[in-house]
């Protein structure tokens, strides 16, 4: 075969390969677009399911009797059960029959400064943490020692514990078990590695009780820690209307009507 002929064949082959490569790039780009559109479509569904679940279980929709009963629920405290928040998990669980009303609500957390009002679920569970906050130890009690809570960070800054990235020193965290309201003033905001589990451990006896809130940072790698020191405890029927409004508790249900 002549040199000229070989060159023509090589040119033809290279053109053919370029056409094939171009087609694969188009196919790949199309698939990426379809995946992106699918994620874009299900994201609002996931967010709506989270909002509905948290609203269903806020303390304004349960009773003190419910909380007392739920405190005896059989739950797990295995932190390894928690996976990253994503649309597939939330939507899949809801389609498979997960019912927010069956979660053991043991209280509520509200931070008026950032518009947070979430149910507190007993134990560490994936569903409990994407429909509110979860307790981390079986022996923890509101208003005593360290009361740690964890929940997911969402890209939407009004969902779950995402508002923690907007709190400031001096903001007040309210907890309630519908017997008392516990007020904590924020005095620590810090980002720590996920191995820093000591932030959730009990504090020495005799020290002023604290609350510890834990969520992921923007990159979903490290943990954002928000802690507050107990500054007040009042019976639920003596709580101010401002506090009750933060929990969306009707005054009649709090014994004020």
CATH number for the domain spanning 217: value is 2.40.260.10
| Residue 177 maps to a domain | yes
Q: Report helix angle 87-95 to 3-57, nearest 10.
A: 60
Give me the pLDDT at residue 96, please.
47
Collapsing DSSP to helix, strand or coil, 109 comes out as: strand
| Residue 127 maps to a domain | yes
**156 a catalytic residue:** no
| Residue 27 maps to a domain | no
Annotated active-site residue in 12, 121, 152, 156 = 152
Give me the pLDDT at residue 220, please.
76
Mean of pLDDT values over 38-61: 73
Indicate whether this model's pTM tops 0.75. Answer: yes
Give me the pLDDT at residue 4, please.
54
**121 a catalytic residue:** no
| Residue 104 maps to a domain | yes
- Whether 257 shows a pLDDT value over 80: the answer reads no
Q: List b or e across 37-59, with b for residues whose CB sees 16 or more CB atoms inside 10 angstroms.
A: eeeeeeeeebbebbeebbbbbbb
Annotated active-site residue in 12, 121, 153, 216 = 216
Give me the pLDDT at residue 1, please.
54
Collapsing DSSP to helix, strand or coil, 11 comes out as: helix
Q: Pick the residue with more confidence: 219 or 5?
A: 219
Give me the pLDDT at residue 92, please.
52
> Domain containing 184: what range?
37-247
| Residue 232 maps to a domain | yes
* Count of structural domains, the chain: 1
User: Cα 87–91–97 angle (5° rounding)?
Assistant: 155
User: Over the stretch 96-114, which tens digit does the pLDDT of each residue have?
Assistant: 456 677 889 999 999 999 9
- Whether 46 shows a pLDDT value over 90: the answer reads no
Which of 96-105, 179-188, 248-257: highest mean pLDDT?
A: 179-188
- Whether 135 shows a pLDDT value over 60: the answer reads yes
| Residue 162 maps to a domain | yes
| Residue 3 maps to a domain | no
User: Over the stretch 20-44, which tens digit does the pLDDT of each residue have?
Assistant: 545 555 544 444 343 343 444 456 7
The whole-angstrom separation of Cα 248 and Cα 233 is 19
| Residue 6 maps to a domain | no
Average pLDDT, the chain: 81
Give me the pLDDT at residue 29, please.
47
Query: Would you state the structure tokens that stand for residue 253, as one six-digit string?
Result: 């249900």
Instruction: Name the pLDDT band for 131 (thresholds 50, 70, 90).
Output: confident
pLDDT > 90: what percent of the chain? 54
């Amino acid at each position: 075969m002549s040199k000229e002929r070989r060159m023509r064949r090589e040119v033809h082959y290279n053109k053919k390969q370029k056409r094939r490569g171009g087609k694969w790039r188009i196919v790949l780009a199309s698939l990426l677009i379809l995946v992106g559109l699918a994620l874009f479509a299900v994201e609002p569904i996931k967010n709506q399911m989270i909002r509905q679940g948290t609203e269903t279980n806020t303390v304004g929709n349960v009773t003190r009797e419910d909380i007392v009963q739920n405190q005896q629920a059989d739950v797990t405290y295995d932190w390894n059960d928690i996976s990253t928040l994503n649309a597939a998990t939330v939507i899949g669980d809801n389609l498979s029959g997960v019912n927010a009303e069956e979660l053991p609500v043991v209280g509520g957390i509200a931070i008026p400064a950032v518009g947070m009002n979430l149910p507190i679920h007993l134990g560490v569970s994936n569903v409990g943490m994407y429909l509110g906050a979860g307790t981390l130890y079986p022996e923890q009690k509101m208003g005593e020692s360290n009361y740690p809570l964890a929940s997911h960070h969402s890209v939407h800054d009004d969902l779950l514990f995402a508002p923690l990235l907007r709190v400031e020193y001096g903001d007040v965290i309210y907890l309630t078990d519908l017997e008392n309201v516990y007020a904590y003033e924020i005095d620590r905001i810090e980002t720590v590695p996920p191995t820093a589990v000591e932030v959730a451990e009990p504090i020495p006896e005799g020290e002023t009780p604290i609350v510890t809130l834990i969520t992921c940072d923007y990159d979903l790698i490290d943990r954002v820690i928000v802690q507050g020191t107990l500054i007040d405890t009042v019976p639920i029927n003596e709580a101010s209307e401002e506090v009750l409004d933060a929990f969306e508790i009707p005054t009649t249900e709090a014994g004020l009507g």
